[in-house]
Amino acid sequence: MALVNPNNNFNSIKARDLIDQSCMLIGIPPEKIGGFLIKTALFSINSILSSWANSGVIQFNETQTLIKFQNGLIRYELPDGFYDVYDFNLATLGRRRSGIPYSSAGGSPAAAFDENITTSCEQTSPNGTIGINFNWDDGPYKSDFFGVCSAKDTEYQLVLEGSNDQTNWLTLYKMDRPTKFIGFPSQLSTQWFQINQPQAFKYLQIREIGGNTLNIRELYFEQYIQSIYRSNIGRSAYMQLSARENKSSPTLYSLEKQKQNIIVNIYQAPSDLPLIQDYANEANYNNFGLMRAVKYPLTVNFLSDEIPINRLFIPALEYELAYKLALKSSRADQAQVLMGIAEMEFQKAKLSNNDLGGLKIQKPSYPS
């Protein structure tokens, strides 16, 4: 999912690289970093980012995401990590299903493209691929978004690839870290991802790179057709609207932020699109909510995790992590100096940063 901040560039820094840099600041070379220090460092990174957010500095970034409207449903819960929604559009997308599904590791690949949420393509070995060879007579197919509905509660780390000869593949999307998927048989369990630079290909496929074995209910390759902006209203105004459950084209939306996950309420209840298809491409059309949203960095759990962070704050993060690690090692005598530098770098970055706001993040518990 693409992250784009309007004010400052965001960098992605691997947790391992950040820990190495901070340890070098206290004189510990990377080869001397033991398991206890790594465990402490991962906890400390999450603690630092939480404390920054609670002081008004949010290391968020902007992204676009989708929710697929369900017939008659007016409440939709966004996935973990979303903090706010700026824009909301009623978008129509098309899914072409003509072609030949395939799987590199067993299972029934056709089940991932059959519009039946109760069936799945369950592979027999890890790091497999599931894709489709689109009918060449219809021409290559360009997908703007792809969606994955898992058949199990798990974490996948996926790459989306396109090819015209099934030999040379171009990466269209790559997950920087394992992403949580819910296995409940529902369209709302689908995770959606935007393709930054969509191109037309004969073959499109997802590939697992994190060592997991794919078990996919539905794999969606959706093409953008059109979108219409919808207005935001406050919660009180939304509650006063009558006939919210009546089916029509949704015209308004309202947000609930009292819970861990944001709830998007829409007015009125959406209805299924007529079953009109482009028979040449066997395309199904559906309505979605297309949102420009704010996403908060996920919890850092592994050394390979990427930390998306405003580039202005990277020095402050390095020095504050070094301070915390110094207290847990034989370098405690350096702690005061490190914290002084960290505070100086933090204030310098904060003065140049426009991404301020109010968000309370629960600090993580110390790992057992």
Q: 148-169: per-residue pLDDT in tens?
A: 999 999 999 999 999 999 999 9
- The crossing angle, in degrees rounded to 10, of helices 15-25 and 35-54 is 100
50 band by pLDDT with thresholds 50, 70 and 90: confident
pLDDT > 90? residue 4: no
Amino acid at 252: L
| CATH fold of the domain at 62-295 | Jelly Rolls (2.60.120)
> Is the Cβ–Cβ distance between 127 and 164 less than 8 Å?
no
pLDDT exceeds cutoff 70 at 81: yes
The pLDDT confidence band at residue 361, using thresholds 50, 70 and 90, is very low
Question: Are 7 and 354 spatial neighbours (Cβ–Cβ below 8 Å)?
Answer: yes
Instruction: Please compute the mean of the pLDDT values over residues 23-34 and round it to a whole number.
Output: 92
Can you give the residue ranges of every domain in the chain? Answer: 10-60+310-351, 62-295
Averaged confidence pLDDT in the chain: 86
182 pLDDT higher than 90: yes
Residue 343 contacts by C-beta under 8 Å, 6 or more apart in sequence? 316
Band of the pLDDT at 61, cuts 50, 70, 90? low
The pLDDT value recorded for residue 353 is 65
Query: Which DSSP symbol is given to 57?
Result: B
Q: How far apart are CA 237 and CA 101, in angstroms?
A: 47
Reported as a pLDDT band with limits 50, 70 and 90, residue 257 is confident
Pairwise CA distance, residues 284 & 275, whole Å:
8
Per-residue pLDDT at 287: 92
Burial class, 73, CB count within 10 angstroms (exposed 0-12 / middle 13-18 / buried 19+): middle
Cα-atom radius of gyration of the chain, to the nearest Å? 23
Q: What is the arithmetic mean of pLDDT over 217-241?
A: 94
Check pLDDT > 60 for residue 263: yes
Separation of alpha carbons 83 and 56, rounded Å: 13
Task: Encode pLDDT of 290-317 as tens digits.
Answer: 998 877 766 788 898 888 787 888 999 9
Report the run of H or E that residue 86 belongs to, with start and end. strand 82-96
